[in-house]
Amino acid sequence: MLRFRTPPPEVRLVNAFEDSFDGAVAAARTCYSAKGIVTPAEVAGDALESVEERDEAKRRRDALAKDIFQAGHHTVYQHAHFQFAIDRVSRHSLWAFFHAHPFYNSEQVSQRYVKVARGQAVVPELGPPAQQIYEQTLELQQDAYYELTRMLVPVAQKIFFAVFPARQRQPDKWRREIRRKAQEAARYVLPVATWARLYHTVSALTLLRYHRAARQFDVPTEIGLIVEAMIDRVLAKDSSYRLLIEAPLPLDVSCEARTFERLGGVVDPRRAERFAREFDAQLDGRVSRLVGYSNRAEQIVAQAVREVLGSPRATLSDDDAIALAADPACNVVYGDALNLATVSKITRALHHAQYTFSRKVSHTADSQDQRHRMTPASRPVLLAHLQDGPDVILPSLVAADDAARQFFAERMEATWDAITRLRRLDVPDEALVYLLPNAVAVRATESADYNALKHKHAMRLCYNAQEEIWHSSLDEALQIREVHPRLGAYLEPPCTIRHRADKTPYCPEGKRYCGVPVWRQLPQDYIRRM
């Protein structure tokens, strides 16, 4: 198990359901109660007079709790939720585990808009000389972040005032906005060891799953420390959950670990390079490539709409049915600030169209993309993708300046050189992954139904969205237009949706307006400058 020089993650339980364990058993008993709703107080035997009766009530409660848990009737444990405040957790730990599933809610500090302070990163205990190499590299990466931010401010300023020429009359007013654009690109050199802080809310069921499955690649030690702390905080509030806690599954019995053992190890740069060449070739120059879809999606969606309305084909054509489900001009839900498509009868017909994409983006972009929990991806064990040389995504703002591009390339080479030296010193694999930069390439396949994609694209085709996700979303929208033109026509940014729905102002971003009337353009004509 890896040890750390830096302080352990800070985990606080800041909100929790009262009597949540009793409430879960009460929910189970209510399913079969002829007398009405069973209350948590009844389950706990609070109204019983004698100690013996109350003890017997709790014995019955615990027996039922364990029985339904072992039988797999787990929905009752989703009623209870726990809100944690977590600090000093690495960005990679969040990506690899805590945000790698659909059943959570998080609000974390943004690297796009908040400057990262020096020294805010995980440092493992490695011993000499590996310790010096690791810490010097960490310092180099953090220095590079500040230097690259400085280098990119003039580049960002030039592009910004080209988009908003009238704003040049008040340059000081926009200084912070311009610096943020530079900072957003500069963060690509920061290591995934960089700390984050966040609110993280999960159900009791998800927390129990965390404890059972915490020993996972790439950083099982850190993940295990956080999960154990979460469990400890919950048990301090309600020790009854101890009945349901199972021991963590050892990492070495996992399918991934046994396969890596057969292949000769997790880290194999030659194997990783062969895979990367093979994957990149199939992208055919795109950020995201459509590799699978349901062939008759438009006809199936149209028929599903007719089924909702009890309408035969003679009274509702495929074109009209699809428009009812997907066109903001026809369907009032798209003009609403809430995402109502998941609860509207007609729009649920859009779930029947399915799409699968292969995509290559940076770690920092994929970390944002995975927050779209209804468009899940099979994300990699990143250690298994580690190559001998830099394997990174170059931000467009860096690419726009020769000096910045050269500086970026030199820092990436220095980072990979340090990782290679650490490998030769046989440091634990999970220590290596922490030094990978935000820019490191993540190759994965993502699948989603049309309804989920429509919501994602409404967020990510906005010109203010993270640039790589914007490019990948545009790739996806254009390819769906090719195979399913009637459905693809309604994959649009928020301003175009509001324009179709006749909602003003068309841009919902207020002072963050990108400066481009995108609603007047077709997706194939979109050009984003920064």
Quick check: is 361 in a domain? no
How far CA 368 is from CA of 6, 384, 488, in Å, comes to 26, 22, 23
Q: Using an 8 Å Cβ cutoff, are 252 and 266 in contact?
A: no
- Residue 119, Ramachandran bin (φ over 0: left; ψ between -120 and 50: alpha; else beta): left
- Share of residues in the chain with pLDDT > 70 (%): 100
156 and 223 in a common domain = no
Q: Which of 109, 309, 78, 49 has the alpha carbon at shortest distance from 206?
A: 78
Quick check: is 318 in a domain? no
Query: Which of 411, 441, 471 corresponds to the end of one domain?
Result: 441
99 and 163 in a common domain = no
Quick check: is 508 in a domain? no
Quick check: is 346 in a domain? no
Q: What is the pLDDT of residue 422?
A: 98
170 and 87 in a common domain = no
Quick check: is 290 in a domain? no
102 and 203 in a common domain = yes
60 and 159 in a common domain = no
Query: Which of 410, 425, 441 corresponds to the end of one domain?
Result: 441
- Residue 284, Ramachandran bin (φ over 0: left; ψ between -120 and 50: alpha; else beta): left
Q: How far is CA 62 from the centre of its chain?
A: 36
Count of structural domains, the chain: 2
Report the C-alpha gap between 233 and 226 in whole angstroms. Answer: 11
φ and ψ at residue 83, rounded to 5 degrees: -105, 120
DSSP H or E run through 1: none
Packing angle, helices 20-30 and 204-213, rounded to 10 = 110
Query: Which of 228, 255, 282 corresponds to the end of one domain?
Result: 255
43 and 148 in a common domain = no
97 and 159 in a common domain = no
23 and 98 in a common domain = yes
Model pTM? Answer: 0.95
230 and 85 in a common domain = yes
Is there a cis peptide before residue 505, judged by omega within 30 degrees of 0?
yes
φ and ψ at residue 528, rounded to 5 degrees: -110, 130
Q: What is the pLDDT of residue 434?
A: 98
Report the C-alpha gap between 395 and 468 in whole angstroms. Answer: 8
Per-residue pLDDT of the chain (530 residues; tens, 9 = 90+): 899 999 999 999 999 999 999 999 999 999 989 889 999 999 999 888 899 999 999 999 999 999 999 999 999 999 999 999 999 999 999 999 999 999 999 999 999 889 999 999 999 999 999 999 999 999 999 999 999 999 999 999 999 898 888 888 888 888 999 999 999 999 999 999 999 999 999 999 999 999 999 999 999 999 999 999 999 999 999 999 999 999 999 999 999 999 999 999 999 999 999 999 999 999 999 999 999 999 999 999 999 999 999 999 999 999 999 999 999 999 999 988 899 999 999 999 999 999 999 999 999 999 999 999 999 999 999 999 999 999 999 999 999 999 999 999 999 999 999 999 999 999 999 999 999 999 999 999 999 999 999 999 999 999 999 999 999 999 999 999 999 999 999 999 999 999 999 999 999 998 888 888 999 999 999 988 77
186 and 50 in a common domain = no
166 and 220 in a common domain = no
Spatial strand order in the sheet of 81-90: 10-16, 81-90, 195-203, 105-108
Report the C-alpha gap between 188 and 194 in whole angstroms. Answer: 11
Report the C-alpha gap between 41 and 44 in whole angstroms. Answer: 5
φ and ψ at residue 85, rounded to 5 degrees: -105, 120
Q: What is the pLDDT of residue 47?
A: 87
Q: What is the 3-state secondary structure (H, E, C) of 86-154?
A: EEEEEHHHHHHHHCCCCCCEEEECCCCCCCCCCCCECCECCCCCHHHHHHHHHHHHHHHHHHHHHHHHH
Quick check: is 308 in a domain? no
Structural domain including 82 reads 10-108+196-255
Quick check: is 301 in a domain? no
CB-count burial class (<10 Å; 0-12, 13-18, 19+) for 522: exposed
CATH number at residue 28: 3.30.1360.170
Q: What is the pLDDT of residue 395?
A: 96
Quick check: is 279 in a domain? no
Most distant pair of Cα atoms in the chain: their distance = 81
187 and 68 in a common domain = no
